[in-house]
Each structure stands twice: as structure tokens, then as C-alpha cells.
């Protein structure tokens, strides 16, 4: 069965393929399906936004669709940037958004800098049935960016599981414990159970 990935990010498409191909799904990108719209992400949660994107593709293309929404949740600043992670503070550049988080956290003591990356994945099957899964990776916010890999907030997110920031980790290390990897593995299990049932 063909599944359209509601993203223009090639790395996400690759991750979707790695998880869903063993279940018999052929994942194609939104571009390959001729879908170029960007639905407004007006949801209040990651789950809401992932569903908005998956439902939009399903409605437009009448095929199974998968979408994710993810971001950084920092406890000391009220859960920000949260669902606004990609457009936090109205800033265009990753480094500017990273600096905004660090500026807001400058007076927060080390023991109170807890944070997590959260990812929600929505799957709409060819018959319109919806499946949701969510994963998270716990850590805390560093004082300064560390590492050259990754993207977004990775340089300021320290993972105790890895003993380093996401930006200091290899792609393999990060994927093993990342929020998106965990959400996709949960989704895979949900779909496997549904297929058996």
C-alpha cells in the first residue's frame, strides 16, 4: 500500500520508509504525490498538528498518509517553545531561536533545566482510519550550544542517555533514542497489531 509522507524533509521521508517498509507500505514524499500545499498548523498540541497535516494529504490525494509534528518542551519557561518550536519568537534562523531559549534560561539553576523533545505521528489509512503515536526523549538545556551535528535545538539539548548533546551525537546514536524514532516505532507496533486484529 502506498503512503504519502506529509513533509518536504528528505530525512523524515527516509525515517518513515525505514519504519513502514517492513510492514508492506511504500512511502512516497508529498512532492512525488504532487502535493505542495502547507496546511496551517493551528493545533494546540503536537498530536493536533500531526493530524491536521495527515488529514490534509488524505483529503487531497485520497491515499494513506503519515505526518509528524515535533518540538522542544522546556519546563522552566512554561513548556515553550512547544508547538511553536519551528517558528519560536517569530525568528527565521535556528541559531536565533536557540539563543532566545538560552536567554530565557540564563537565570535558571542547573537542577531546574529539564526539557524533552516530543514527537507525535499521525497515520491515516486508505479507508480513513486514524492511528496516533507519541514519543519523547528526556534531557536538559545546556548553558551554551555544544556540537556540530543535528539541527534546530540539538546543540542545547543534553541527553543523559547519550551523555552528550544531540548535536554531539552521531545520526545513529541520536536515532536510537530520539523522540521521532520512538514515536515511529510505537506507530509501527500499533499498525502491526491492527493488521493482525
Q: What is the pTM of this model?
A: 0.91
Q: How far is CA 197 from CA 1, 12, 18, 122, 159, in A?
A: 18, 28, 23, 20, 37
Contact, 132 vs 50, CB < 8 A? Answer: yes
Domain segments of the chain as ranges: 2-196
Contact, 4 vs 66, CB < 8 A? Answer: yes
Summarize pLDDT for 36-56 with one digit per residue, the tens. Answer: 888 888 999 999 999 999 999
- How many helices (H) does the chain have, and how many strands (E)? 5, 7
Active site residue 69: yes
Q: How many CA atoms lie within 13 A of 64 on its CB side?
A: 18
Percent of the chain with pLDDT over 90: 74
CATH match of 2-196 with 3.40.50.720:
no
User: Is residue 9 over pLDDT 90?
Assistant: no
Mean pLDDT of the chain: 93
The catalytically annotated residue of 40, 48, 69, 103 is 69
Summarize pLDDT for 83-139 with one digit per residue, the tens. Answer: 999 899 999 999 999 999 999 999 999 999 999 999 999 999 999 999 999 999 999
Q: What is the pLDDT of residue 197?
A: 59
Amino acid at each position: 500500500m502506498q503512503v504519502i509522507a506529509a513533509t518536504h524533509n528528505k530525512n523524515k521521508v527516509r525515517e518513515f520508509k525505514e519504519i513502514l517498509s517492513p510492514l508492506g507500505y511504500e512511502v512516497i514524499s508529498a512532492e512525488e504525490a504532487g502535493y505542495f500545499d502547507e496546511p496551517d498548523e493551528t493545533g494546540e498540541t503536537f498530536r493536533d498538528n500531526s493530524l491536521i497535516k495527515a488529514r490534509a494529504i488524505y483529503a487531497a490525494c485520497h491515499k494513506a498518509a503519515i505526518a509528524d509534528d515535533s518540538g522542544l518542551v522546556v519546563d522552566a519557561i512554561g513548556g515553550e517553545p512547544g508547538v511553536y518550536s519551528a517558528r519560536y519568537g517569530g525568528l527565521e534562523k535556528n541559531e536565533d531561536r536557540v539563543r532566545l531559549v538560552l536567554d530565557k534560561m540564563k537565570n535558571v539553576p542547573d537542577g531546574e533545566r529539564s526539557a524533552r523533545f516530543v514527537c507525535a505521528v499521525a497515520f491515516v489509512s486508505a479507508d480513513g482510519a486514524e492511528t496516533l503515536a507519541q514519543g519523547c526523549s528526556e534531557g536538559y538545556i545546556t548553558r551554551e550550544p555544544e556540537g556540530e551535528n543535528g539541527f534546530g535545538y540539538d546543540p542545547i539539548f543534553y541527553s543523559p542517555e547519550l551523555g552528550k548533546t544531540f548535536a554531539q551525537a552521531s545520526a545513529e546514536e541520536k536515532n536510537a533514542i530520539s523522540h521521532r524514532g520512538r514515536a515511529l516505532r510505537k506507530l509501527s507496533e500499533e499498525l502491526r497489531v491492527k493488521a493482525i486484529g
